[in-house]
Amino acid sequence: MKQIQKYFPLIPVFAAYLIMFFLGENMEGIWQLMSMLLFYCALGQAFNVFMGMTGYVDFGYVAFLGVGTYGMALSITRLVQYEFLGAWIIVIGFGLAMVMSTLLSMAVGAVALRLRGAYFAIATIGVNEGFRFLIEGARIWNGSEGMIFTADLNKVLGRDTAAALCTYWADIMVLVIAALAAFVTLVYMRSKIGYALTALREDEDAAKVMGINVTKFKIIAFITSACFAGLLGATAWALKTPYVFPPEVFEIHYTIEAIIIVMLGGAGTLLGPVVGGLVYGISKYYLSIFLPGFQLLIFAPIILVIIVLFPEGIVGMMKAKTKGTGVERFIV
Partner 1 sequence: MFFEQLGGNLLQGVVLGAVYGMATMGLSLIFGVLKVVNVGHGAFIMVGAFLTLFLFSSLGINPLIAIPVAFMVGMGLGLIFYYTTIRKLIKAPELATLLATFSIGVLLEELIKLIFGSEFRGYNWVVGKLDLGITVLPLSKLYACIGSVLIAVLLYLWFKKTRAGSAVRSVVEDSEGARVCGINVGGAYALSFSLGIGLTVASGVLLTMFIPVGINPYMGGGYTLKAFVIAVLGGLSSPYGAFFGGLVFGLIENGSYTLFAYIPGVEPFALTRFLSFVILLVILLIRPTGILSAK
Partner 2 sequence: MALLQLENVSKRFGGLVAVNQVSLEIDPGEFVGIVGPNGSGKTTLFNVISGVFYPEEGTVMFEGRDITRLPPFKRAPLGIGRTFQIPRPFASATVRENIAVGAMFGTQGHRLSVDGSLEVADEIIKRVDLAAHRDKAAGTLTPVEKKLMEIARALAMKPKLLLMDEAMAGMHPNDIDQMVAFIKRVADEENIAIVAMVEHIMRAVVGLAEKVIVLHQGSKIVDAPTKEALENPRVVEVYLGHAPEDSAC
Binding footprint of partner 1 on the chain (CB under 8 A): 51, 55-57, 59, 111-112, 114-119, 121-123, 125-127, 129-130, 133-134, 136-139, 143-144, 252, 256, 259, 263, 293-294, 296-297, 300-301, 303-304, 307-308, 311
45: left (phi over 0), alpha (psi -120 to 50) or beta: alpha
Query: In the chain, helix, strand, coil percent, each to 5?
Result: 80, 0, 20
Asked if 288 touches partner 2 (CB under 8 A), the answer is: no
Asked if 197 touches partner 2 (CB under 8 A), the answer is: no
In whole angstroms, give the CA distance from residue 258 to residue 59.
10
Own/partner contacts of 18-24, CB < 8 Å, gap of 24 or more, are 20/175, 21/172, 21/175, 24/171
Restricted to residues 162-191, the positions that interact with partner 2 (CB under 8 A) are 190-191
Q: Which does 301 bind (CB under 5 to 8 A by kind): partner 1, partner 2, none?
A: partner 1
Cβ proximity to partner 1: between 176 and 252 the closer is: 252
Closest distance between partner 1 and the C-beta of residue 243, in Å? 20
Cβ proximity to partner 2: between 145 and 203 the closer is: 203
Length of the chain: 332
In whole angstroms, give the CA distance from residue 201 to residue 189.
13
212: left (phi over 0), alpha (psi -120 to 50) or beta: beta
Asked if 198 touches partner 2 (CB under 8 A), the answer is: yes
Question: Is the Cα dihedral 140, 47, 37, 161 positive or negative?
Answer: positive
Closest distance between partner 1 and the C-beta of residue 81, in Å? 25
Residue 24, H or E segment = helix 10-26
Closest distance between partner 2 and the C-beta of residue 186, in Å? 13
Q: How many residues bind partner 2 (CB under 8 A)?
A: 19
Asked if 203 touches partner 2 (CB under 8 A), the answer is: yes
Q: Which does 228 bind (CB under 5 to 8 A by kind): partner 2, partner 1, none?
A: none
Q: Which does 11 bind (CB under 5 to 8 A by kind): partner 2, partner 1, none?
A: none
Cβ proximity to partner 2: between 52 and 71 the closer is: 52
Q: Which does 329 bind (CB under 5 to 8 A by kind): partner 2, partner 1, none?
A: none
Q: Which does 210 bind (CB under 5 to 8 A by kind): partner 1, partner 2, none?
A: partner 2
In whole angstroms, give the CA distance from residue 67 to residue 99.
10
Q: Which of 65, 103, 47 is nearest to 239 (CA)?
A: 65
Strand locations in the chain (E): 147-148, 243-244
Q: Which of 260, 288, 286 is nearest to 275 (CA)?
A: 260
Which CA distances in Å does 48 have to 227, 262, 321?
Answer: 13, 6, 22
Q: Which of 214, 232, 306, 314 binds partner 2 (CB under 8 A)?
A: 214
Q: Which does 199 bind (CB under 5 to 8 A by kind): partner 2, partner 1, none?
A: partner 2
Closest distance between partner 2 and the C-beta of residue 313, in Å? 13
Note the residues at the interface with partner 2 (CB under 8 A).
190-192, 195-196, 198-199, 202-203, 205-214
